[in-house]
């Protein structure tokens, strides 16, 4: 397994750099969850507590709309074929995070009961770093 983060593809028109990445630990967990639940997606809303953590759902289970922005697409490619995964964020939350690059990582502990990672005794969290060059929206 690689130890470098997996960057997403660029999905925001006019931008040149990835806004999101997955840690190698996150990729490993996501591959396990994919085998259990099938195709997956992330959504990060605003708010407090678990609402500010990225939540992983079976693809299409969380309905996105005009209030959300697609920050990136990942391919968890394995020898068995492509495994696409989208990372969505509420536009309101994106306004606060628009100057950062986000890396999804995994830590021990119970997170939201809605995320498919909850029964594993771990939760996803965001590690962010400031980035020059992203335009604030």
Show the domains of the chain with their CATH numbers: 6-130 (2.60.300.12)
- Mean per-residue pLDDT of the chain: 86
Residue 24 to residue 65: CA distance in whole angstroms:
29
Residue 73 to residue 84: CA distance in whole angstroms:
7
What are the residues whose beta carbons fall under 8 Å from the beta carbon of 78, sequence distance 6 or more?
A: 31
Tell me: pLDDT of 134 over 80.
no
Tell me: pLDDT of 11 over 50.
yes
Tell me, yes or no, if the pTM score tops 0.85: yes
What pLDDT shows up at residue 81? 77
What pLDDT shows up at residue 111? 64
Among 14-28, 34-48, 77-91, 106-120, the least confident range: 106-120
Taking residues 5-20, what's their average pLDDT? 91
Tell me: pLDDT of 136 over 60.
no
């Amino acid at each position: 397994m690689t130890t470098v983060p997996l960057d997403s593809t660029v999905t925001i028109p006019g931008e040149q750099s990835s806004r999101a990445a997955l840690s190698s630990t996150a990729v490993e967990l996501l591959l396990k969850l994919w085998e259990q639940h099938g195709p997956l997606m992330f959504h990060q809303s605003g708010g407090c507590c678990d609402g500010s953590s990225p939540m992983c759902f079976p693809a299409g289970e969380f309905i996105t709309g005009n209030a959300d922005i697609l920050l990136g697409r990942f391919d968890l490619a394995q020898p068995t074929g492509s495994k696409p995964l989208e990372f969505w964020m509420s536009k309101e939350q994106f306004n606060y995070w628009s100057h950062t690059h986000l890396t999804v990582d995994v830590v021990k502990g119970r997170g939201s009961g809605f995320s498919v990672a909850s029964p594993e005794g771990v939760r996803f969290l965001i590690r962010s770093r400031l980035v020059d060059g992203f335009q604030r929206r």
